[in-house]
Amino acid sequence: MRFTIACILVLLSATLWSYDQIVTVATVTSSTLQIAETLNSLGAATLDNGRASPGQRQLLLAQVLRAAGSRLGAAHRNLNVPVASLSANEQAPLNRFVSILKDISDFSDLDDGHAITVVNNTLTAVHDLFDVLPTDEKPPIVFGVALPSVLTNIHQNQFVILGYHLVDPTIGNRPPTVTVAGEAIDSHVIAADFGKVVVQLPDSLIQKLGYKNSACNPLRPFDVRAKVFFPSSGLARVLRITSEADYAVSIRPPSMFYDVSVEATGDPSSTPRRVIPFSAISQYVAVGCDQTVSATVSWSIPPNSRILDSRTRWIETDNVRNTTQAITQNGTAILAFGTISGLDKQCALFGICNCPGGGHGRLFLEGTAASTVPPDFTTQQTARGGAEIEVKMPPNEEWTLRRMTVRAARKGCSTELDRIDLQNPDPRVAAQGLSSLKGIFRLRITDGILVITLAKEAP
């Protein structure tokens, strides 16, 4: 997307500053509108990825450029008029406007501060251009709406309507009337000048719209409508009749993201999933005559596994009188314990004894274990509204589902938004699909795969 904007700007720049090519108003107009449409698509994609301020800033800039291209084209009856033949009064602002466009080629890569500067510079350049367009009338126009963090100096309970000729001194700078989400805004909290209208929202609307865009109360879509007043033309102006223009701007929030958790309990199959042979051997153990020495050896049981059989014995023994061995098991390991006794001393008359040789051996543990499906199954994933989450569950031949709870919450919010509880679900019904309590998601289970489909927007 950014590459497309850059390509358009390269072509535009090459055309505007080429000495061997005639540059027309149509060239500037069409290129501006192309950049606006590309920025509009980029802004929508940015909001889809959950990035509110950059996405809304890109959409705002697109609206400003769309208005600039449209009004520039409408001001000239002949779009093929060469830019060089325009009056010097119009050429200078037009060239400044085109130079501003070059800064937009890397707009998506700019940090907030530099991106805001580009938007403000574009607004100034568009105002300067509109002031010198060859038209007798300068009707108002609304570019768009800036929310907090989209531009600077906007308080958390305000938004700014940006445009041109939003008030007029000949009718007392009468401010526009503003409606937000169907509710009229009191004129006392509306401050307007030629290029902007600052609107302060009441607390009730801030809560209703999720205007602070917190995790548990995110921003919701809403419309801003403005009625702008301006002097009429012709005889109506002489009679001091005021004209009105209605504008509507839709505020699109970033895509909703959900945290989805799955908790399930089932009956594992008695058939082992996989048989695991195991063995362990102790260190070399030495023992003298008339001595008894002990040894231990253990093997850690893997998670979700059980011991099928086990055996232990002494190996590599020599000069040993007898041995003992036993096996114990806890939840995480199997342990073999054993003793080894050396030969008796050989004693002659007068207490003279001899040891025929030191003994030695090693304790050996072996057996088989089986991996099993755990009775409990839990997982959590985060996904965008409208997306599908796939969760691989234990196969039907290894595990029978008994209970399942699926919960959905807004990303980063601990408050549960919706859920579904299943108890010994009928596989045929589960395969067809089931809806959550509030309809925020649907799920289906097919061939051991749980598929959760999320709604794009939550209530």
Output the domain CATH number for residue 229: 2.60.40
Stretch 167-184: mean pLDDT, rounded?
Answer: 95
Q: Which domain holds residue 240?
A: 136-255
- Domain membership of residue 191 (yes or no) is yes
Indicate if the pLDDT at residue 15 is higher than 60: no
Stretch 184-210: mean pLDDT, rounded?
Answer: 96
Q: How far apart are CA 59 and CA 44, in angstroms?
A: 7
What's the predicted TM-score (pTM) here?
Answer: 0.74
155 and 240 share one domain: yes
115 and 160 share one domain: no
Q: How far apart are CA 174 and CA 191, in angstroms?
A: 10
Helix (H, G, I), strand (E, B) or coil at 42: helix
94 and 4 share one domain: yes
pLDDT of residue 19: 47
140 and 250 share one domain: yes
pLDDT digits (tens, 9 = 90+) for 401-412: 889 999 999 999
Q: Which of 100, 118, 135 is the last residue of a domain?
A: 135
158 and 47 share one domain: no
- Confidence grade of residue 425 (pLDDT, cut at 50, 70, 90): confident
Q: Which of 109, 135, 161 is the last residue of a domain?
A: 135
- Domain membership of residue 331 (yes or no) is yes
9 and 122 share one domain: yes
142 and 251 share one domain: yes
- Domain membership of residue 33 (yes or no) is yes
pLDDT digits (tens, 9 = 90+) for 260-317: 999 999 888 776 667 889 999 999 999 988 899 999 999 999 888 889 999 999 999 9
pLDDT digits (tens, 9 = 90+) for 214-263: 999 999 999 999 999 998 776 555 567 789 999 999 999 999 999 999 99
- Confidence grade of residue 155 (pLDDT, cut at 50, 70, 90): very high
Which sign does the torsion angle of CA 139, 152, 174, 132 carry? negative
Residue 376 CB partners (closer than 8 Å, separation 6+)? 263, 264, 265
Q: Report the domain count for the chain.
A: 4
Stretch 335-345: mean pLDDT, rounded?
Answer: 92
Residue 173 CB partners (closer than 8 Å, separation 6+)? 167, 192, 193
- Domain membership of residue 360 (yes or no) is yes
Q: How far apart are CA 395 and CA 412, in angstroms?
A: 32
Stretch 4-18: mean pLDDT, rounded?
Answer: 57
* Of 298 and 98, more confident: 298
CB 230 within 8 Å of CB 245: yes
Q: How far apart are CA 387 and CA 393, in angstroms?
A: 19
Q: What is the DSSP letter of 356?
A: -
- Domain membership of residue 201 (yes or no) is yes
Inter-helix orientation angle 52-75/25-48, to 10°: 160
CB 337 within 8 Å of CB 316: no
- Domain membership of residue 278 (yes or no) is yes
pLDDT of residue 18: 55
14 and 79 share one domain: yes
305 and 323 share one domain: yes
| Cα angle: 307, vertex 311, 317; to 5 degrees | 150
310 and 429 share one domain: no
Stretch 26-42: mean pLDDT, rounded?
Answer: 90
- Domain membership of residue 459 (yes or no) is no
206 and 126 share one domain: no
Q: Which of 135, 155, 173 is the last residue of a domain?
A: 135
Strands laid side by side in the 242-251 sheet: 183-184, 177-180, 222-231, 242-251
- Domain membership of residue 385 (yes or no) is yes
339 and 444 share one domain: no
Q: How many residues does the chain have?
A: 459
Q: Which of 20-24, 97-101, 357-361, 385-389 has the highest mean pLDDT?
A: 385-389
